[in-house]
Structure formats: structure tokens, C-alpha cells
Amino acid sequence: MDYLKRGTAGFRRANFALFAGGCNTFAVLYCTQPLLPEIAKEFHIPPAAASLSLSLATIALAVSMLFIGSLSEAWGRKGIMTVSLVAVSALCLWSSYSANFYSLLAFRIAQGVVLAGLPAIAMAYLGEEIEPKSLGVAMGLYISGNSIGGMGGRVITGMLTDFFDWRTAIFGLGVLGIAASLLFWLALPPSRNFKPRPLQVGKMVRSLASQMKEPRLLCLYGLGFMLMAGFVTLYNYIGFQLTAPPYSLSQTVVGWIFVVYIVGTFSSTWMGLMADKYGRSKVLRSALLIMLIGVCFTLSGSLPVKILGIAVFTFGFFGGHSIASSWVGKLAVRDKAQAASLYLFFYYTGSSIGGTVGGIFWTDFGWSGVVGMIVCFLVLAFLLLARLSASVGKQQGRPVLEARQ
């Protein structure tokens, strides 16, 4: 195998390209989240309807990710990723001219479909092209690009909306996306170890169906759903509360609150290490408890305490997600790629459903209703984890609380 080795120009170019691509992908995906109050105001729609601009994009992404990875097995890696980045950036530019809310939703659905091209393929590219002993570093850089893009996109759109309007903010993000796509295309080394295989749709569908029959994996898929449903619900509607009296914060300030994502970069790594040491069940339970404490802090009327609660909640979420997603690979006996795709499908479906239903709770019950809904998601997550821990513990023939796999 002709691997890209750490310290070489090709290794640096590959990491730079995928970092830029990850930033672009997740900046565009979440760009409307801090703008939901502005979108609701302009189109005279309730918050739950405004949230569809994010929810429909994520559900389209979830469905596309089930299939696009298999397409790349036949059509190649770099080409699909490049087309995906260019297309989503162009759609971002066009969506800023949406004449009405329905056309904005159509653009967002199309973005969700083409967005899948990078996250569904990037890890496969890295696994094929990077030498095994350097793969952890490369994967970490790619994932950090995802989180920085998600955070940066929210901050940029929040600031541009304050200075101009939400349409200019989305257009500006599209311009940055075109530049990132060009850098990606120029920098990413072509695949050298990729071997195309015939597209076998029937085999892929059968593999996905078989993963849905494994109870332990179903528990993990449910955990991914509950984690992301709660996380996106909080971030979708916190902006509505903070831009209204008594806080009356600007879009710029609300956008900068997303900087608390940085704590997630730390917690995902730290909790992963703790899971290896103390066991996945125990540390994931701790992550859920941290999320529960954090979301309850947001009920405080004090702005510093509320922001602290958001940070604590975010810390727990990223730690919990990192453990749950890595656990899928441990429990999947075969077809690990399809098992991971299903986890992401449920994960993003949770984002879509929870993020929209949360708007109903916000409209009818205010912030306490949103928090109550998130607490329900977390309670269900605790129950799923208990079921999973019991199953794993019995299979390993030792006490459940000591189960480490």
C-alpha cells in the first residue's frame, strides 16, 4: 500500500483539505440555527416552522448518508467529495435569494442531500490513504474541522446578520464555502489505494436490515437519537429566549455563545479515555447526568448561570456522543460501516424531529417546556443505557456495572 505518511507534504495536504472540507460542510448545515428568530420574523411563521430550515436539511443528510458511502465504493472518493462541497456552497448562495419560506426549505433539503458527500466518505478516504500509525492524528484533525466549522458558521452568520441581514449572512457563508471547496480540490491528493467495486444495492439494503435486528445496536441508535434530539432542541430555541426581553441580546452575542463548543472538543477526547479506563456504561451514564445538570441550570434567570448551563450541557453531550458512536464499532459483528451509517441516521433524525417538536413546547410552555422536553429525552436515554448495559453485562458473564465493552 502506498500510504501518506506523517511528516510528508501529501499527509499535510490531505489533512488541510479535509479540515477545510469539514469546516465548510458543518458551517453550511447549521448556518440557519442562530438565524431562526430572524427567519420566523421575516416569514411570519412560528418557531417550530422556522426550525424546519435545519430539521429538513438534517433528515435529508441522514437518509443520503445511508447510500452515498456505497456509491463512492463504485465511483471513487475525491470526485464525489469535491462535487458535494461545490454543490452545497452554490446552493447556499442561491438560498439567500429565497422568495419565500417554501423555496428556502427546498434549498435546504437539496443542501442536506448533497452535504452527505463529505462526511459519508471522508473517513473511508483517510482509512485507505493514511498510514495506520498516523490515522488517529488525521482523524482527530478532520473531526476538529467539523466542530470548528459548526461553531464558526454559527458565529459568522450571527455577526453578519447583525451588520446586514440573514440573507447577506448566508450569501457570505456560501462565498467562503466556494473558496474552501477550491482549496479542497487543489490540496487533496488523489486516491492511490482505492479499488472500485461494483455497486450492489441489494447487498447494501440487506446489510442495513440485518443491523436493525441486533438489540444492543438498536439501544445505541436510540441513544444517538435522544442525545442529538436534546442537543439541537436546546440550541434551536435558546436564541429565541436570549434575543427577547429581559436579555435582548444581539445576534452577534448569541452567535458567540456557540463558542462553548470548544468544551466539547475537550470532553469527547477526555471522556473517551475515561471510558477505556472505567468502562463505557459508567462514563456514558456520567455524561447523561452532566447533560441533565446543565440543562437544569439554563432555567436560571441569571444570564451567566444560563450560559454556564449551556457549556455544561455541551460538555456532556460531546462526551456522550463520542462514547456511543465508538461503541457501535465494538458491538457490530460485521458490516461495521453500515452499522455506523445507521447510528448517524438515527442521530440526525433525532436532530430533525427533536429540533422541530421543541418549537411546539417553546410556543406553548416557554423555556421551561423546552427544558422539560429535553429532560424526557435524557430519561429515555438513561433507560436505553440501562437496557444496553444489562445485555452487555450478561453476555460477558460479569456484573453489569463492570461492563466495559
DSSP per-residue codes, 154-212: HHHHHHHHHHS-HHHHHHHHHHHHHHHHHHHHHHSPPPSS-------HHHHHHHHHHHT
Backbone φ and ψ for 199, nearest 5 degrees, come out as -75, 120
CATH number of 346's domain: 1.20.1250.20
Instruction: Cite the DSSP H helix spans in 96-134.
Output: 101-115, 122-129
SS3 267: helix
| Same structural domain, 66 and 171 | yes
- Of the candidates 168, 188, 208, which is a domain's last residue? 188
Give the per-residue pLDDT at 263.
Answer: 84
Torsion of CA 312, 315, 321, 323, to 10 degrees: -120
Burial of residue 119, with CB atoms counted within 10 A of its CB: 0-12 exposed, 13-18 middle, 19 or more buried: buried
Contact 372, 361 (CB under 8 A): yes
| Same structural domain, 184 and 206 | no
- Of the candidates 157, 188, 219, which is a domain's last residue? 188
| Same structural domain, 234 and 356 | yes
Q: What angle do CA 37, 43, 45 make, to 5 degrees?
A: 70
Integer Cα distance of 232 and 224 in angstroms: 12
Give the per-residue pLDDT at 388.
Answer: 93
Contact 268, 319 (CB under 8 A): yes
> Does residue 126 lie in a domain region?
yes
> Does residue 195 lie in a domain region?
no
| Same structural domain, 131 and 42 | yes
| Same structural domain, 130 and 263 | no
Contacts of 8 (CB under 8 A, 6+ apart): none
| Same structural domain, 156 and 205 | no
Q: If the chain, 405 residues long, is cut into consecutive pieces of 10 residues, what is the mean pLDDT of each piece?
A: 81 90 89 91 94 94 82 77 94 95 97 86 79 72 76 87 92 95 93 74 69 84 95 93 91 84 79 82 94 97 95 92 80 69 88 92 95 97 94 58 40
Give the per-residue pLDDT at 400.
Answer: 35
| Same structural domain, 258 and 113 | no
Give the per-residue pLDDT at 254.
Answer: 85
Name the residue type at position 342.
L
| Same structural domain, 295 and 381 | yes
Integer Cα distance of 261 and 293 in angstroms: 17
- Which domain does 87 fall in, by range? 1-188
> Does residue 283 lie in a domain region?
yes
Contact 232, 54 (CB under 8 A): yes
What is the radius of gyration, based on Cα positions, of the chain?
Answer: 21
Integer Cα distance of 271 and 281 in angstroms: 12
Contacts of 106 (CB under 8 A, 6+ apart): none
State pTM to two decimals.
Answer: 0.83
> Does residue 280 lie in a domain region?
yes
> Does residue 194 lie in a domain region?
no
| Same structural domain, 143 and 246 | no
Integer Cα distance of 214 and 336 in angstroms: 13
Give the per-residue pLDDT at 269.
Answer: 73
- Of the candidates 153, 188, 223, which is a domain's last residue? 188
What is the count of structural domains for the chain? 2
Integer Cα distance of 164 and 41 in angstroms: 15
| Same structural domain, 320 and 376 | yes
| Same structural domain, 254 and 400 | yes
Give the per-residue pLDDT at 404.
Answer: 41
Give the per-residue pLDDT at 335.
Answer: 62
Q: Where do we find the cell 420574523?
A: 41
Omega within 30 of 0 (cis) for the link into 189:
no
| Same structural domain, 164 and 293 | no
CA-closest candidate to residue 177, choices 261, 257, 258, 89:
89
